[in-house]
Amino acid sequence: MLGSLTRGLRALPPERAHELAMRALRLSPRIYAAEAIGAPATVMGLHFPNRIGLAAGFDKDGDHINSLAKLGFGFIEVGTITPQPQPGSPQPRLFRLPASKALINRMGFNSRGVEHAARRLAQQGGGFSGVLGCNIGCNRETDKAEAYKDYLHCLRRLYGLANYYVINISSPNTPGLRNMQKPVALNALLRALVSLRDELSEQHREKTPLLIKIDPEQSRDQIEAMAEIVQRTGLDGIVATNTTTRRGREVAA
């Protein structure tokens, strides 16, 4: 039966198949919890029950946390969440590469917005015993010189609802976003975010880890420069990596 369902979903456009699978997961009256798989880890002061997690991009708005939690993940990262709702890139924007068992992703930060995500996190976050992360971004139409305000707004609104926060400045599907990884812009952005995080940690009496997500096209020198800025500004870590814009010969359609 599972094979028939899988074949049926693969006959649909990939984004539609994802929507139906997520809806079925949410509406299913009975999902058996996965057995614990062990290999816990403590990172950034957070206890991960296991090291297998769900990256951002699967549950973009935090609508399916409790259902996904039953699959046994050690952590779930929701997002990318933007301040205002936005549709993302025009469809089709998700493409299968069957021979490589891979996907081409051109989603473009489709998001229901931070207010929707905050409500869903407040409703569902407590039902997950693992580590819950929030991935935040800026709106497509925001002037990138002012984009830091989008990140500050999202962090302020979502603080206290997740166990860690990831600053997404590396998606290739939002024009100009990767320019925020350049040293001057990155330093200014991270200083502003760490300052706000420290302010919020006093209010909430809890300091929540803050990370950035980088792209895979960085050179060694660029990575070293970014790592130095991360250390200097007091960020807690780096998420490696975002979507690549390259497709080597080994990736067949």
Q: Which region, left, alpha or beta, applies to residue 227 given φ > 0 means left and ψ of -120 to 50 means alpha?
A: alpha
> Residue 197 corresponds to which tokens in the numbers above?
């995080």
**pTM (2 decimals)?**
0.90
The mean per-residue pLDDT over the stretch 163-180 comes to 91
**Single-letter residue type at 47:** H
The pLDDT tens digits of the residues spanning 77-133 come to: 998 999 999 998 899 998 898 888 888 889 989 899 999 999 999 987 667 888 999
Residue, of 11 and 247, whose pLDDT is higher = 11
Predicted confidence band of residue 244 (pLDDT cuts 50, 70, 90)? confident
In order of their start, the domains of the chain are 31-240 (3.20.20.70)
Active site members: 171
- Mean pLDDT is highest, among 12-21, 85-94, 132-141, 169-178, for 132-141
Strands 94-97 vs 102-105: parallel, antiparallel or unpaired: antiparallel
Contact 94, 103 (CB under 8 A): yes
132 contact partners, CB below 8 Å, separation of at least 6: 65, 75, 76, 77, 78, 121, 125, 162, 163
pLDDT, residue 126, reads 67
pLDDT of residue 20: 87
